[in-house]
Amino acid sequence: MTLFLIILNGLVFVTQLRLGGSENIETLYELGALVPVVVWEGQFWRLITSNFLHYGWGHFSMNMLALYFIGNLVEKISNKYNYITIYFLSGIGSMSAFSYLAHYTGKLDYILVGASASVMGLVGSLTAIFLRRWLHEKSSINGKRLSIIVVVIIVQLISDYLLPQVSMLSHLFGLLIGFIVIAHRNKESVLTT
């Protein structure tokens, strides 16, 4: 599943490059970047398409590298249905929450792209899985895993704060959605190691 998502993101990125460039705002807009004002005008498909667009090689590479490592881990400890559900709900839910907040605050002129909200959803799901395991088993290995995930989250949020072009809100929304999806599933359907 992880490889499929990376290939899908890669195909979209190649399409961006061929149709005007991955840093061309018009190309991003035409291919479905999230722009809250047009989402509120009825272009709800942007809540999906924006998750597969990336701004430049650096953005694409970092998201795919994170997806490779985090996605493979989630895929190994969770079933494919949960994995794909977390990935898409986190991305679409984050873009929806961001659009709602932009509408509520009157700041509708943003343009948002990237798979990072989905990846952060996978991080949130790992947090829920390791927290549940640690609370249930009290094993030191799950405590260490949970600690590592918390450090990853803190580093990500510090990075988001320091880089103004990165949407901390979409990352937080993705993280919370991924956590909530797993936290509300029964233990047997999630922890299939």
CA distance 172 to 12: 24
Structural domain of 106: 2-190
CATH code of residue 91: 1.20.1540.10
**Bridge partners, residue 112, by sequence:** 34
Angle at 90 between CA 84 and CA 94, to 5 degrees: 155
pLDDT tens figures, 95-115: 999 888 888 887 767 788 988
Give the pLDDT score at 108.
Answer: 67
Which pTM was predicted? Answer: 0.85
Res 39 pLDDT > 80? yes
Give the pLDDT score at 150.
Answer: 84
Residue 85: Cβ within 10 Å count: 18
Overall number of domains in the chain: 1
Token output for 52: 């597969």
Question: Nearest-CA neighbor of 16 among 59, 67, 55, 65?
Answer: 55
Question: Nearest-CA neighbor of 54 among 26, 16, 94?
Answer: 16
